[in-house]
Structure 1
Amino acid sequence: MFNGILDSAAKLDPTGVVGRTNLELRYARGMLDVLRRVRVAKLDGTYTVVDMVEQQARRSINRPAIFFDKDVITWRELDARANQVAHWAQSIGIAKGDIVSLLMNNKPDYITTWFGLAKAGATIALINTNLTGGPLAHGLNVAAAKHVIVDAELGEAFTAIAGSLETTPKVWAQGGTVAGAASFDEAVAQQPQTQLPRSARPKLKGRDNLFYIYTSGTTGNPKAAHISHYRFLQASNGFAGAMEATWRDRMYCVLPLYHSAGGIVAVGSMLSVGGAVILKRKFSAKQFWEDVSRYDATLFQYIGELCRYLLNSPEHPKEKAHKIRVACGNGLRPEIWPTFQERFNIGRVCEFYGATEGNVILMNADGKVGAIGRIPFYLDRVFNTKIIKFDVETEQPVRNAQGFCIECAPDEPGETIGLIPQNPNKTVGRFEGYKGKAETEKKILSDVFTKGDKWFRTGDLMRRDAQGYFYFVDRIGDTFRWKGENVSTAEVAEALSTFPGIKEVNVYGVQVPGTDGRAGMASLVAGDDLDLEAFHAHIGKALPAYSQPYFIRVKAEMEITGTFKHRKVDLVKDGFDPGKVAEPLYIRHPDLGGIKPLTAAVYEDITAGRLRF
């Protein structure tokens, strides 16, 4: 099969690359290994996540499954604890399809609890542990669960919004006490550690829902995305294949388990091969290399900002003395990629692109710096991912005279979309949507290339080169127009972040009275010795005039989501008004010369139209 695909591709390849270079051979072999691993996943099949993990537990038995602080949980113990949760769930009437919300910090109980609930056939709503107040109530109300399991460490946040819940779930406290809650730990401890009898097991299929995983909420309240057993199997096995993972691997995971990056890519890939997860409560740049060395980690799941934090940290004696062979994740910006890999002796970076709810998955299997993935021409019809022309001002795709969308030329930026198959039983391109029809329909684009076709909208602008590599440009809504040009916030942030002393950058557009479009503004986290005069010169050299930011806000730390994504909503609302912003504000305007403090008088000149843009 492998040679056949390469031979066929080589005959069609206009570049002459296929079958001739080691990178192409490696890429093709990697893709085939991914396809081989995920073939067990079938929508109507009875093989589920429960079967996969139980199978690995039988094979691994006394091998470590989870490392957590000083504790080591074996595969036998993982399965036994999950069995107790499954018995408990059935004892209180939880049946197939019932929803249980899980509000718990990173710990082994998180994994054993959701796995035990899955054995009972429940759907588990994974609630963001960083939420409080209205957003937390929103997440719980969307789930509308019959039961909520609350980590005692999060009990205060939950109790504060309990009166705002639209339903009255039964509340269970884990790891301590929560006001008005029954003890989850005591109830589970009374249950047997044996598996549920075959007669009592729910009849699950691949298409049955396993999780609700919420989107990151960078622009508003998070939405709950359906994650079926099939999708978990597909993703966990696929990423294991991409990393060439085996039972000998140990994955270092600092990302939250309520999100797909930590909960599926990191944990799921190890569950699929019988490896081990080194689980941490949260990320610590100071502790990172000490942990990696201590636990003999071989894999690391990253988000781009984590890599930047590590690079900004002082040299650590163990930062090269480790066993990590693959770092897998997304958001590693090209300006720090080679430096990160070289400084920390990372043999291979496996960058990928994928949204929790989406049907577009891209994988950079050969480590090309800056690329978020690749679909070579001979796999175009398999993955059906396109980039279409997009109008940034109207935030809508461009359509031709016939009303159809227009595919972008190589290296032309546009919105990336993925074909949703008309046959709901077809697995490639399957879009499972959100808990809520209206939210789901907003992500579907119809009549794209033919009447009646449907495509998933990623909401991301990308470009694709002639070799099939995809590059991230910006998030729709982040890119803005200024002086008749499109400004990519990601590209501006990339240029600014290369200046010495800049630790983090968040770029966005702000409205200026009397102007069309939005002017650029950059929120920075920088060292105390930031040289504004030199920074001004750097901006002038690194960026074209239309994309150079006018306004600068200096912050002690950046607002981020629980998955380390920058939040822009509040920054855009604050704008450049010194009456709203207590932090240092600066303006970079040719009439003022260099970078100057943005005082109340300067702000008044702008709003009155005396200082023109």
Structure 2
Amino acid sequence: MSSKRNKILLGVAGTVGVGVISWRALFPWIGYDIEVMKKGARYGKVLNKDITSGRFPINMFEEAVEKYPKKAFVIFEDRVYSYEFMNEQANKVANIAAKWGLKVGECVAIMIENEPSFIWTFLGLQKLGIAVAFINYNIKGQPLVHSIRACEAKVLIAGAADEIFHSVKEIKPTIQHIPIYVHGNNRGDGFESWDRLMLDTLPIQVCPSVRRGMGLHTPCCYIFTSGTTGLPKAVIMSQGKFISIGKFFQVFEFLPSDIIYTCMPLYHSAAGGLGLINTIDQGATMVLKRKFSASQFFDDVRKYNVTVIQYIGELCRYLLSVPENSQDGKHKVRVAVGNGLRADIWDQFKQRYNIPNICEFFGATEGVAGFVNLNNKTGSCGRYSPVTKMLDPGGSKLLVKVDLDTGEVVRDKNGHCLPIKVGEPGLLIGTIPEIYGSNGIYKGGREINERKLLRNVLKDGDCFFNVGDILSIDSDYFLYFKDRVGDTFRWRGENVSTLEVSNILNKLDAIQDANVYGVEIPGAEGRAGMAAIHLEDNVTLKENILRDIFNLATEQLPSYARPLFLRFPKERAITTTLKQQKTQLRKEGFHPEDIDDPLFFYDGQNKTYSPLTVETYDQFFIKSKL
């Protein structure tokens, strides 16, 4: 009996062993999937705890102040700002704002560069439950007016930079209905000094009862993103959404002892959302840089004992352009977290700078669908295997077939979307989480939200949000970002709306039509702006026209949105429905050998658009340092 039983057990063991080997052969990443599921479960547990208890970002901050009063919260330009000090400044902001009589959820816009005052102003307004609109300090003119109006701001607080002051001064007559406070003491022109108010106000703690009524769906802030409509859209970042953002770094076990380096603008969701809120959640330390500097990046990292760095893809490429140094790999960084790091520089960046773990993720400010690469898989932004889909039983994220020329989804005979196959590009769509409530994704009502919705996707009556990005999936279920759909392209880490740029260029009387699109540049991340311009019939292309276009672009567009190239085609590129056709223009690019039309490049040195010819092509790259 004993011998027979042993044979049976050995047989079972052998079968199980073969089964495990077979599973590992068929699914070599099964161990990774299980680890991802464990981390997902842990993330869900801590998130659910904070959601249930209503531990909003301002509660996170006030808990950190009580727990770590003397600890460094922000390190900025060699100055250390403790949690206690930042709280005192936030209290001053709250006491000033209390006199405005705003209700919980009403909005104040701030337009401040990367500096501690951005953070304490945001936190001070949060102490009253006031929503804060993070205004991009690069925009000006009509886009700036639109942004302030879109979020229904009751007050505008402008930062200390001269560029910000001039942009605000220019639009002041248009927004006379709201008070404007400006950092600095001697601005004049009817502006009230924010600095003087701060000096004259005591840092008395505000009772949390004043924000009673603040809930998961109450707006915490508005973060702006460019869309195909041509003007910035205000994404509603609810209190509940910011709680979930504040837990994201738990996928790599972000701790109170961590020091994070942030050089991206705080008005973006990467820095002002992920970086800031995760720091507050854990009571960690943020090293804040006013602007990105490739030459100073790792010097700062070493100087301040940074353990976590944030990046965007272009940032990493710039870092690789810095001359190699024997100190490159000497630091305390354990994780680099961000998005947009492309496969062609991934391993080079990791090896040169000795980065143990690259946590590449995919996510949009709108935030309805996201992925994260926890395996250091080169070039991937995450994984969506049958096993990991168990974390998403409702199928909230889908990749569907799309016409790359039109950006329209491909549907079957029943009008439903089609799933992609391995290796195919697909449009990412996602269901809208309950945490968004009935407010929608964007501030502005049903119409602005409806444009981004796809209905009857899998069945009649269902609804998904169109993320607007193209991803592909490989045979191992790893995901890779491919491109953006529609008229928006990404350059210098910013989304550029072709319609917005076109509208600016068309202001010039000499221009009949400007067709703006993005073109790929060898060795550069994203797409650079290019405009195919048709002049009025009675206008001849001369030097004065090129200077006028240069001046217009320089004065009315942020640097990242200015067309790097101009083309003057003989024929217009339009579709049969009289819409601008960009696909062929994108494919043709900007090389003089491929195009017969006159070409020009943005020449900052000579303050004009200069001819781009076969002879000047290489010189252009030297001048532009691309």
Where on the TM-score scale, by shorter chain, does this alignment land: which range?
0.7 to 0.9
User: In structure 1, how many angstroms separate the alpha carbons of the residues matched to 2:269 and 2:22?
Assistant: 37
- Answer yes or no: is 1:276 the counterpart of 2:282: no
User: CA–CA distance in 2 between the matches of 1:162 and 1:184?
Assistant: 16
Contact 1:460 1:475 in 2 (8 A): yes
Q: Give the aligned partner of residue 140 of structure 2.
A: 132
Match of 1:405 among 396, 412, 417: 417
Per-residue deviation at 1:493? 4.5
The one of 107, 111, 129 equivalent to 2:115 is: 107
Map Cα deviations across residues 484-511 of structure 1 (whole Å, 9 max, x no partner): xxxxx99x948x32xxxxx667368988
Q: What is the aligned partner in structure 2 of residue 544 from structure 1?
A: none
SS at match of 1:267: helix
Q: Are 2:104 and 1:81 aligned?
A: no
Aligned to 2:507: none
What does residue 530 of structure 1 align with? none
1:244-286 per-position Cα deviation (integer Å, ceiling 9, x unaligned): 1101111101000111011011111111111000001000111
1:302 corresponds to which residue?
311
Aligned match of 1:117: 125
| CA deviation map 1:303-328 (0-9, x unaligned) | 10010011111123432111111110
Matches for 1:352-371 after TM superposition, within 5 Å: 352-371=361-380
- The secondary structure found in structure 2 opposite 1:148 is strand
**Whole-angstrom CA distance in 2 between matches of 1:463 and 1:432:** 25
> How far is the alpha carbon of 1:97 from its aligned partner?
1.8
Paired with 1:384 and 1:562, the residues of 2 have a C-alpha distance of: 37
Contact 1:102/1:150, CA 8 A, preserved across alignment: yes
Say if 1:415 and 1:19 are closer, same or farther in 2 by CA, change over 3 A: closer
Q: Give 1:200 deviation, angstroms.
A: 3.3
Residue 199 of structure 1: how far off its partner (Å): 4.2
- Inter-partner Cα distance in structure 1 for 2:408 and 2:227: 21
Out of 43, 55, 78, which is 1:70 matched to?
78
CA distance in 2, matches of 1:263, 1:402: 43
| CA distance 1:590–1:120, change in 2 (3 Å) | closer
| Cα RMSD after superposing both structures | 3.6
Q: Identify if the C-alpha distance between structure 1 residues 97 and 324 changes in structure 2 by more than 3 Å, giving closer, same or farther.
A: same
User: SS of 2:177's equivalent?
Assistant: coil
Task: State the Cα distance separating 1:426 from its structure 2 match.
Answer: 8.3
CA distance in 2, matches of 1:355, 1:399: 25
Q: Evaluate the alpha carbon distance shift between residue 337 and residue 251 of structure 1 in structure 2; reply closer, same or farther with a 3 A threshold.
A: same
Could you tell me how far apart the structure 2 residues matched to 1:325 and 1:252 are? Answer: 12
Is the contact made by 2:363 and 2:369 (CA closer than 8 Å) also made in structure 1?
Answer: yes
Deviations along 1:537-583, one digit per CA (max 9) or x if unpaired, are xxxxxxxxxxxxxxxxxx9xx99x9999x65x8458x33669xxxxx
Shift of 1:63: 1.1
Matched, 1:375 2:384: yes
**Distance of 1:585 and 1:425 partners within structure 2:** 45
Q: 2: distance between equivalents of 1:416 and 1:146?
A: 36
Contact 1:338-1:369 at 8 Å conserved across structures:
yes
Question: Which residue is 2:576 aligned to?
Answer: none
* Aligned positions of 1:137-152 closer than 5 A: 137-152=145-160
Question: Partners of 2:590 and 2:459 in 1: how far apart?
Answer: 50
User: Is the Cα contact below 8 Å between 2:105 and 2:214 reproduced in 1?
Assistant: no
Q: Quote the residue 1:539 is aligned against.
A: none
Contact 1:18 1:24 in 2 (8 A): no
Give runs of aligned pairs for residues 215-234 of structure 1, distance below 5 A: 215-216=225-226, 220-234=230-244
Letter in 1 for 2:401: K
* Matched residue, 1:459: 468
Rounded to whole Å, the distance in 1 between the matches of 2:458 and 2:236 is 27
Q: 1:318 aligns with which of 322, 327, 334?
A: 327
Equivalent residue number for residue 198 of structure 2: 188
- Contact residue 241 and residue 436 of structure 2 kept, 8 A: no
Rounded to whole Å, the distance in 1 between the matches of 2:119 and 2:242 is: 14
Kindly state the Cα deviation for residue 91 of structure 1 after the two structures are TM-superposed: 2.3
Gaps of 5+ in 1: 1-9, 481-488, 498-502, 514-554, 579-583, 592-596, 601-613
CA offset at residue 194 of structure 1?
A: 3.6
Name the aligned partner's letter for residue 353 of structure 1. Answer: F
Give the match's secondary structure for 1:399.
coil
Q: Report the 3-state secondary structure (helix = DSSP H, G, I; strand = E; otherwise coil) of the residue aligned with 1:255.
A: coil
Equivalent of 2:100, from 92, 95, 99? Answer: 92
Which one of the candidate residues 272, 291, 298 is aligned to 2:300? 291
Amino acid at match of 2:567: G
After superposition, the Cα gap between the structure-2 partners of 1:317 and 1:599, relative to the gap in structure 1 and judged at 3 Å, is closer
Aligned with residue 172 of structure 1, among 181, 196, 205 = 181
Query: 1:418 — aligned with what?
Result: 430
Q: Is the contact between residue 262 and residue 271 of structure 2 (CA under 8 Å) also seen in structure 1?
A: yes
Classify the secondary structure of the residue corresponding to 2:444. coil
| More divergent stretch after superposition (445-454 vs 139-148) | 139-148
Partners of 1:233 and 1:150 in 2: how far apart? 27
Match of 2:167 among 157, 170, 181: 157
Asked if the contact 2:416–2:457 (Cα under 8 Å) also holds between the matched residues in 1, the reply is yes
Which residue does 1:263 correspond to in 2?
A: 272
* Structure 1 residue 174: Cα displacement: 2.0
TM-score, normalised to structure 2's length?
0.74
| TM norm structure 1 | 0.76
Pair 1:385 & 2:397 matched = yes
Instruction: Give the structure 2 partner of residue 604 of structure 1.
Output: none
Partner of 1:506: 527
Residue type at the aligned position of 1:156: H
Q: Does 1:450 align with 2:459?
A: yes
Unpaired segments of 5 or more residues in structure 2?
1-19, 490-516, 535-549, 571-588, 597-610, 615-626
Structure 2 distance, partners of 1:577, 1:511, is 7
Partners of 2:453 and 2:296 lie apart in 1 by: 43
What is the deviation of 1:202? 3.1
CA contact (8 A) 1:289 1:316 kept: no
* 1:514-539 CA distance string (max 9 Å, x none): xxxxxxxxxxxxxxxxxxxxxxxxxx
Partner of 2:537: none
Aligned partner of 1:191: which letter? T
Question: Which amino acid counterpart does residue 187 of structure 1 have in structure 2?
Answer: L
Residues 14 and 430 (structure 1), Cα distance of their counterparts in 2 relative to 1, 3 Å cut: farther
Question: In the alignment, is the contact (CA less than 8 A) between 1:298 and 1:326 conserved in 2?
Answer: yes
1:481-520 equivalent positions in 2, closer than 5 A = 493=520, 496-497=522-523, 506=527
Does the C-alpha gap of structure 1 residues 218 and 504 become closer, same or farther in structure 2, counting only changes over 3 Å? Answer: farther
Distance 1:399 1:575, change over 3 A: same
8 Å Cα contact 2:37-2:388 kept in structure 1: no
* Corresponding residue SS for 1:587: coil
Q: Give 1:221 shift.
A: 1.8
The structure-2 alpha-carbon separation of the partners of 1:510 and 1:325, relative to structure 1 and needing over 3 Å to count, comes to same
The correspondence for 2:408, drawn from 377, 390, 396, is: 396
Residue type at the aligned position of 2:148: L
State how far apart, in whole Å, the 2-side matches of 1:177 and 1:71 are. Answer: 25
Partner of 2:620 in structure 1? none
Question: Is contact 2:372–2:381 with CA below 8 Å preserved after alignment?
Answer: yes
User: CA shift at 1:479, angstroms?
Assistant: 11
How many aligned positions are there?
513
Letter in 1 for 2:408: Q
Decide whether aligned partners of structure 1 residues 169 and 316 sit closer, same or farther in structure 2, where only a CA change above 3 A counts: farther
Q: Does structure 2 conserve the Cα–Cα contact (< 8 Å) formed by 1:386 and 1:418?
A: yes
Q: Is the 8 A contact 2:308 2:333 kept in 1?
A: yes
User: Is the partner of 1:85 in helix, strand or coil?
Assistant: helix
Q: Distance in 2 between matches of 1:169 and 1:508?
A: 35
| Counterpart Cα distance in 1 of 2:127 and 2:282 | 19
Could you say what secondary structure the match of 1:212 adopts?
Answer: strand
Letter in 1 for 2:424: E
Q: Following TM superposition, by how much is the alpha carbon of 1:452 offset from its aligned partner in structure 2, in angstroms?
A: 0.9
1: CA distance, partners of 2:21 / 2:196? 65
The residue number in structure 2 matching 1:346 is: 355
Q: 1:317 to 1:19 in 2, by over 3 A?
A: closer
Whichever residue aligns with residue 342 of structure 1, its letter is Q
Tell me the CA shift for residue 65 of structure 1: 0.4
